[in-house]
Structure 1
Amino acid sequence: MIICKTEVLHRSSGTRQTMRPLYKHPRKGQKAPQDPATKTAALAWLRHDGRTAGLLATAHQHMDLEQHLRAALPAALQSSCHVLRFEDGQLTIGVPAAAHSAKLRQLAPRIASSLEKRGWQVNGIAVRVQATLSRPLGGVVAPNPVGRPNQIGSPGIQAFADLQDKISDGPLAQAVARLVARRRET
Structure 2
Amino acid sequence: MRPLGHILSAETTFAGFLDRRRNELAILHHVRRNLPPALAAQVGIAAVEPPELALLASSGAVGALLRQRVPDLVEKLAHAGWQFTGIRVRVQPRPPPRSPKKHMVKQLDGLSAATLRAHAERLADPELAAALRRLADHGAAPSDDEEALGSVKKQRSE
Task: Indicate the TM-score class for this superposition, using the shorter chain for normalisation.
Answer: 0.5 to 0.7
- Normalised to the residue count of structure 1, the TM-score between the two structures is 0.52
Matches within 5 A, 1:112-131: 112-131=74-93
CA distance in 1, matches of 2:104, 2:86: 50
Cα distance between partner residues in 1 of 2:79 and 2:104:
55
Query: Which is bigger in relative contact order (C-alpha 8 A, separation at least 6)?
Result: 2
Question: Structure 1 runs of 4+ off > 4 angstroms?
Answer: none
Q: Residue 82 of structure 1 aligns to a residue in which SS?
A: strand
Aligned to 2:12: 50
Shift in Å, 1:89: 2.1
What is aligned with 1:65? 27
Question: Structure 1: 5+ residue runs without aligned partners?
Answer: 1-36, 149-186
C-alpha root-mean-square deviation of aligned residues, in Å? 2.0
* Residue aligning to 2:100: 143
5+ long unaligned stretches in structure 2: 106-158
Query: Match for 1:116: what amino acid?
Result: A
Larger relative helix fraction: 2
Amino acid at match of 2:60: A
**What letter is aligned with 1:59?**
R
Count of aligned pairs between the two proteins: 105
Q: Please state if 1:91 is matched with 2:53.
A: yes
Contact 1:92 1:127 in 2 (8 A): yes
Between the aligned residues of both structures, percent identity stands at 28
The 1:122/1:147 distance shift into structure 2, 3 A limit, reads farther
Matches within 5 A, 1:100-111: 100-111=62-73
Superposed, 1:148-163 pairs within 5 Å as none
In 2: Cα distance, 1:55 partner to 1:90 partner? 19
Equivalent position SS for 1:104: helix
Q: TM-score, structure 2 length as denominator?
A: 0.60
Separation in 1, partners of 2:70, 2:46:
15
Whether the 8 Å CA contact 1:82–1:95 is kept in 2: the answer is: yes
Computing the radius of gyration over CA atoms, which structure comes out larger, 1 or 2? 2
